[in-house]
């Protein structure tokens, strides 16, 4: 078990190193530097480059960059000199996180509920209904769903605000849009595993013992069926984080994703790289956390290649 944890953490750090290296060298491949403005005099440019260490050999710069990243310093913006990337992330990320956890709660709770209901009502109306929602969730991309929900529920019916203004009510539409795809994945998976569990011998035994249906469902079925679902939580969280990049644009959430897109448009490379790295750290550690948690919860699968993504 300990070996497994150490191995997983080691791989996570190795991955981060790979990403940081990729980020650094790709950044160097992009033509231009922050100071290639013709208005800046040559000597000032040289001074600036010396200050930021851009005149040193590339390997030395690389080591410096890694050191800075380890310290949590992602550099400064090219478009807005003096604005540090780290500060920007700290300012903007809470808005994205507020959206992310709501979407996760929405997707996981409703997804599990739908999956269980569908399995218990196998080939009944509820089964078809929930699986229809799941299919729609898979087939309709958020770039379509977002504007559609905003238009129907927001503009036409006026039930929800179409832009996030800080109230709980305004978080409903973006969270639903963000979470629906994951809800579909979870409910389909939960349905399959629940159906499998329902066919197991120990369910027969429980029935023979005379347990009530609620007891069987809550004590035996759900506990066993939920195990495989936990494995998808890591990648799911990753999907929610990257998915919010689109959602934030649609619903005017002043979060990191929206800022990320505008940085891409403005070609603010340090900003793009910094946020990229930040996203990578977030995703890799959430996947790692879920994997480790899974190792603890299910003793059968302590060491297994299936644990990863």
Partner 1 sequence: MNANLNIDPQKFTLVGKNLEAAQRINRPSMSYFQDAMRRLKKNKVAIASFWVLIFLIVMSLIGPVISYHVNGHTYRDQELVNKNQTPIMSNARSITMTANDVFEYAKYKPNFRKTSIKFTGVELVGTGEIAFKVGSESEEGWQGDKKEYIVSVTVEEGDSWDTIIQKLNARAEEILASDPDFRGVKFEKSGNTLKITSIGKTWFNTRYWFGTDELGRDMFTRLWEGGRISFLIAFVSVFVTVIFGVIYGGISGYIGGRLDDILMRIIEILMTVPDLIYTILLLQVMKPGIMPIIVVLIATGWMGMARLVRGEVMRLKNSEYVIASKALGADSKRLIFRHLIPNAMGPIIVNMTMMIPRMIFAEAFLSFIGLGVQPPYASWGVLANEGAKIFRQYPHELLFPAIAISLTMLAFNLLGDGLRDALDPRLRK
User: Stretches 108-116, 141-149, 170-178, 222-230: which one binds partner 1 (CB under 8 A)?
Assistant: 141-149
Residue whose CB is less far from partner 1, 110 or 238: 238
Residue among 227, 226, 223 at smallest CA distance from 203: 223
Angle, helix 85-120 to helix 269-297, in steps of 10 degrees: 40
Within 159-198, the residues that bind partner 1 by CB under 8 A are: 192, 195
* Residue 33 in contact with partner 1, rule: CB under 8 A: no
* Residue 280 C-beta: closest distance to partner 1, Å: 5
* Residue 42 C-beta: closest distance to partner 1, Å: 27
Contact call for residues 224 and 239 (beta carbons, < 8 A): no
* Residue 284 in contact with partner 1, rule: CB under 8 A: yes
Q: Which CA distances in Å does 34 have to 51, 102, 174, 270?
A: 13, 38, 35, 9
* Residue 245 in contact with partner 1, rule: CB under 8 A: yes
Q: How many residues bind partner 1 (CB under 8 A)?
A: 47
Question: 172, 279, 290, 294: which one contacts partner 1 (CB under 8 A)?
Answer: 279
Within 121-140, the residues that bind partner 1 by CB under 8 A are: 135, 138-140
- Residue 285 zone, left/alpha/beta (φ > 0; ψ -120 to 50; rest): alpha
**Percent helix, strand, coil in the chain (nearest 5)?**
80, 0, 20
* Residue 22 in contact with partner 1, rule: CB under 8 A: yes
- Residue 32 zone, left/alpha/beta (φ > 0; ψ -120 to 50; rest): left
Residue whose CB is less far from partner 1, 206 or 290: 290
Tokens 């927001």 belong to residue: 154
Contact call for residues 100 and 233 (beta carbons, < 8 A): no
Report CA 176 to chain centroid distance, whole Å: 15
* Residue 305 C-beta: closest distance to partner 1, Å: 8
Q: Count other C-beta atoms under 10 Å from residue 274's C-beta.
A: 25
Residue whose CB is less far from partner 1, 22 or 230: 22
Contacts with partner 1 by CB under 8 A lie at 11-12, 14-15, 18-19, 22-23, 26, 29-30, 135, 138-141, 143-144, 146-148, 150-151, 155, 192, 195, 238, 242, 245-246, 249-250, 261, 264-265, 267, 269, 272-273, 276, 279-280, 283-284, 287, 308-309
């Amino acid at each position: 078990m300990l070996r497994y944890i150490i191995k997983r953490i080691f791989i996570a750090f190795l991955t981060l190193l790979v990403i940081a290296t990729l980020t650094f060298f790709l950044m160097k491949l992009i033509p231009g530097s922050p100071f290639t403005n013709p208005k800046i005099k040559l000597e000032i440019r040289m001074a600036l480059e010396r200050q930021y260490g851009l005149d040193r050999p590339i390997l030395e710069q690389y080591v410096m960059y890694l050191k800075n990243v380890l310290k949590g310093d992602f550099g400064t913006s090219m478009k807005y000199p003096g604005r540090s990337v780290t500060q920007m992330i700290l300012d903007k990320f809470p808005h994205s996180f507020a959206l992310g956890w709501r979407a996760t709660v929405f997707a996981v709770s409703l997804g599990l509920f739908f999956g269980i209901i569908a399995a218990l009502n196998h080939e009944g109306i509820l089964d078809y209904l929930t699986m229809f929602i799941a299919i729609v969730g898979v087939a309709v991309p958020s770039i379509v769903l977002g504007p559609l929900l905003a238009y129907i529920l927001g503009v036409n019916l006026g039930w929800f605000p179409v832009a996030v203004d800080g109230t709980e009510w305004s978080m409903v539409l973006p969270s639903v849009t963000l979470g629906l795809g994951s809800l579909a994945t979870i409910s389909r998976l939960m349905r399959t595993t629940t159906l499998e569990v329902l066919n197991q011998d120990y369910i027969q035994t429980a029935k023979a013992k005379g347990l009530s249906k609620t007891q069987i469902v809550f004590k035996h079925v759900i506990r066993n069926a939920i195990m495989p679902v936990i494995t998808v939580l890591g990648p799911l969280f990753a999907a929610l984080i990257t998915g919010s990049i689109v959602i934030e644009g649609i619903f005017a959430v002043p979060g990191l994703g929206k800022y990320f897109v505008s940085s891409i448009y403005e070609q603010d490379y340090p900003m793009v790289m910094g946020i990229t790295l930040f996203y990578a750290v977030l995703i890799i550690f959430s996947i790692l956390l879920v994997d480790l948690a899974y190792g603890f919860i299910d003793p059968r699968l302590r060491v297994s290649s299936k644990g990863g993504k």
